[in-house]
Amino acid sequence: LSLAFSPDGTLLVAGAADGRVRAFDVPRERRIGRSFRPGPSKTDVVADSINAVAVSPDGRVVAAATEVGDIHQWDPAGKYLAKLAPSGPAAAIQAIMYARAPAGGEPVLFSGGDSNVVEEWAGAKALRLGEGRGDVHTLAVSDKIVISGGEDNTIRFWARDARVQLRAMTGFGEEVLSL
């Protein structure tokens, strides 16, 4: 089970191994609409596990990353918005995180997974931010920096604007699973 809150704490999203995403209205303690699955129609349903979920900073978009390497986006009520496919070979996406948009634009989505790559999404296009030496398990994002951690026991710091690695911290002795 993967969980994500909206920045204002009113929306909770849950992604599960059964391939379903559920949205909850936290103040009212109830589910919003029906659970939804990747795909714009019932004929385009992916039954693979949801590995990660995220909510955009404005709360208008819910994203879910799948075991087959796609990211799907909906509005919180379940209206399907888009399918994003990685720039390279398909590999499970393990982590996604939204960041505020620079200069008032649309929120920016970042992803990482079994391809060892951290990507920034500009609309439906993936831009490679950087590559580590092992699967990316977790991400954290600020206005200027993206931090990734993974199976190579390393935390990497990436400059969002220049798309370069700033530094790497090693010596943890185990995979980095959470930031």
Q: What average pLDDT score do residues 137-166 get?
A: 92
pLDDT tens per residue across span 54-92 = 999 988 999 999 888 889 999 888 888 988 887 677 788
SS3 state of residue 84: strand
Closest listed residue to residue 98, CA positions, set 118, 113, 120, 124: 120
Please tell me which residue, 157 or 48, carries the higher pLDDT value: 157
SS3 content of the chain, % helix, strand, coil (to 5): 5, 50, 45
Return the percentage of the chain with pLDDT > 70, whole number.
93
Give the C-alpha distances (Å, rounded to integers) separating 26 from 8, 30, 83.
10, 7, 27
Which of these, 89, 87, 131, 140, lies nearest to 110 by C-alpha position?
Answer: 140
**Termini Cα distance of the chain:** 17
**How many CB atoms lie under 10 A from the CB of residue 115?**
23
Question: pLDDT digit string (tens) for 5-22?
Answer: 999 999 999 999 888 899
For Cα atoms 132, 134, 140, give the angle at the middle one, nearest 5 degrees.
60
- Confirm if 1 and 14 have CB atoms less than 8 A apart: yes
pLDDT on residue 146: 94
Q: Does 104 score more than 80 pLDDT?
A: no
Q: Is residue 73 within 8 Å of residue 61, measured between CB atoms?
A: yes
**Confidence at 127, pLDDT banded by 50, 70, 90:** confident
- HSE-CB at 146 with a 13 A cutoff on CA atoms is 32
β-pairing, 21-25 with 71-74? unpaired
CB 168 within 8 A of CB 154: yes
Which is more confident, 111 or 143? 111
How confident is the model at residue 9, as a pLDDT?
A: 94
How high is the pLDDT of residue 78? 83
pLDDT in tens, 18-59: 888 999 999 999 998 777 776 544 434 455 789 999 999 988
**Does the pLDDT of residue 103 top 60, yes or no?**
yes
Residue 107 identity (one-letter amino acid)? P
This prediction's pTM = 0.88
pLDDT recorded at residue 133: 83
The mean pLDDT value of the chain amounts to 87
Q: Strand, helix or coil at 104?
A: helix
